[in-house]
């Protein structure tokens, strides 16, 4: 399974009203570099599979983490939900 699918599983497991899952949270959970997680997070946002959690750092919008898309259905089996087009 690739990193994108692992991240989607983590997002799907989070309660809908929970705080965003940060890049640091994912990095620690997977034991990999935040740079690698950030690249995967950007792919998920660009492909419309996750929504970004953006903060302003000295006036510059910065990707802080991810939140699940409101319309994304949760998988029942623990597998990532199929992509919606």
Taken in order of first residue, the domains within the chain and their CATH numbers are 3-67 (1.10.10)
58: left (phi over 0), alpha (psi -120 to 50) or beta: left
| pLDDT tens for each residue of 45-71 | 999 999 999 999 999 999 999 998 876
Provide the percentage of residues in the chain whose pLDDT is more than 70: 81
User: Per-residue pLDDT averaged across 29-48, rounded?
Assistant: 95
Going by pLDDT thresholds of 50, 70 and 90, the confidence category of residue 38 is very high
d(CA 33, CA 36): 5
The verdict on pTM exceeding 0.95 is no
How far is it, in rounded angstroms, from Cα 56 to Cα 40? 21
Give dist(CA 30, CA 5) in Å, integer.
Answer: 12
């Amino acid at each position: 399974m690739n990193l994108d699918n692992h991240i989607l599983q983590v997002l799907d497991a989070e309660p809908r009203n929970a705080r965003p899952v940060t890049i640091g949270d994912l990095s620690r959970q997977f034991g990999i570099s935040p740079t690698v997680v950030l690249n995967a997070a950007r792919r998920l946002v660009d492909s419309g599979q996750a929504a970004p959690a953006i903060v302003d750092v000295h006036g510059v919008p910065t990707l802080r983490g991810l939140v699940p898309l409101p319309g994304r259905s949760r998988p029942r089996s623990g597998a990532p939900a199929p992509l919606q087009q």
